[in-house]
Amino acid sequence: MIKLQHVAMSYGGKELLSDMSLSLAPGSFHFLTGPSGAGKTTFLKLCYAELLPSTGQLTLFGKDALGMTRDDIAGIRQRIGVVHQDCQFLEHLSVEENVALPMTVSRRPVNAGELHELLGWVGLKHRREALPAQLSGGERQRAALARAIIMSPDVILADEPTGNLDWEMSLRLLSLLTELNRMGKTVVIATHDLNLIRQAKAQVSARVLRIANRRLQHAGADL
C-alpha cells in the first residue's frame, strides 16, 4: 500500500529523515512517535506525496511516487484520508460542506442521507450548518476525521489528532479510529502521547514506530 525503501528527505541542504524503510500493510494500525521536531509530520507528508524523497524509493499503491504526475497524486490522495492537527478547513464553508469536500472535488454526487449518517457517527449531526470557527477543538478534529473518511479511503493518516483535545475527547477520537481499523482501514497516528498509545492497546493490535536521530526505529512488539 505505502512502501518506503531507503528513503531520505533533505530540505535546504539539511537531511531531515535518513534511510527509512517501511511497508504499511492493508488493515494495519501504526503509531508514529518521537520527540517534537523529529520528523513525524515530514514522514506523513511523504506518505501522501506532499513531499517527495530526496533519495530512495517511495511506492504508493504500487506506483513510484517520483514518476507520478500531479493528477496521479490527486488520485492517490482520494485514497488516503489525512487528519491534520490544525484540521485545514475552508473557513467560509459549513461543517457539512467541508466534510463533503473530497466528494465535491472529485465530482462525485453527495448522498445527503449518507453524509448525515457520517456526521452522526462522529457526533456532529447537530453542528452540520455551523462554520468551522464555531466548533470546539474536539468537534473540529471529529469533523476533520469525517472529511478524511468520506471517500472511504484505504489509508487514514492522522497527525497529532489529539494534540489540542482533553483526555475524554482524545479517547473518543481514538475509538473512532480503531473502529475504522476494524473495518479494514490502514491507520497511522503520529503522536507523542504515550498514554494514548497505551490506551489503544486495549482496543486494537497496533505497532509503534519511532523516529529518532532522523531514522525510523521499529519498536516491533504489538502493544
Partner 1 sequence: MRAPLSLLKSERPGADRVVPPTGFTARLTLLTAAAMAFLAVFALALSLATGRLADRWADSLARSATIRISAPPDQMEAQVAAVLAVLKTTPGVASDRVLGNDEMKDLLKPWFGPDLPVDALPLPKLIAVTETNTGIDSEGLRLRLQAEAPGAVFDDHTRWRRPLVAAAERLRLLGLMSLVLIFGAMAGMITLAAQAALAANGQVIATLRLVGARDTFIARAFVRRFTLRGLAGAGLGVLLGMAAMAALPSANEAGGFLTGLGFSGWGWFWPLIIPPVAAIVAYGATRFAAARMLRRIR
Footprint of partner 1 (CB under 8 A): 48-51, 70-71, 73-78, 82, 84, 88-93, 97, 100-102, 104-107, 110, 147, 151
CB 111 within 8 A of CB 152: no
**Hey, what's the cell of 131?**
462554520
Which residues, 6+ apart, have CB-to-CB distance to 34 below 8 Å?
40, 192, 210, 211, 212
The smaller minimum CB distance to partner 1, of residues 89 and 193, is found at 89
Give the whole-angstrom CA distance, residue 12 versus residue 3. 25
Name the minimum Å distance from CB 217 to partner 1.
28
Name the minimum Å distance from CB 78 to partner 1.
4
The smaller minimum CB distance to partner 1, of residues 104 and 205, is found at 104
Q: What is the largest CA-CA distance in the chain?
A: 50
The smaller minimum CB distance to partner 1, of residues 158 and 206, is found at 158
The smaller minimum CB distance to partner 1, of residues 89 and 197, is found at 89
The smaller minimum CB distance to partner 1, of residues 82 and 209, is found at 82
**Hey, what's the cell of 44?**
506523513
Name the minimum Å distance from CB 51 to partner 1.
8
Helix ranges (H only) for the chain are 40-47, 70-77, 95-99, 101-105, 112-121, 137-149, 167-182, 194-201
Name the minimum Å distance from CB 100 to partner 1.
7
Q: How many residues does the chain have?
A: 223
The backbone torsions φ and ψ at residue 77, rounded to the nearest 5 degrees and listed phi first, read: -70, -20
Amino acid at 98: N
Q: What is the DSSP letter of 39?
A: S
Name the minimum Å distance from CB 182 to partner 1.
24
The smaller minimum CB distance to partner 1, of residues 96 and 139, is found at 96
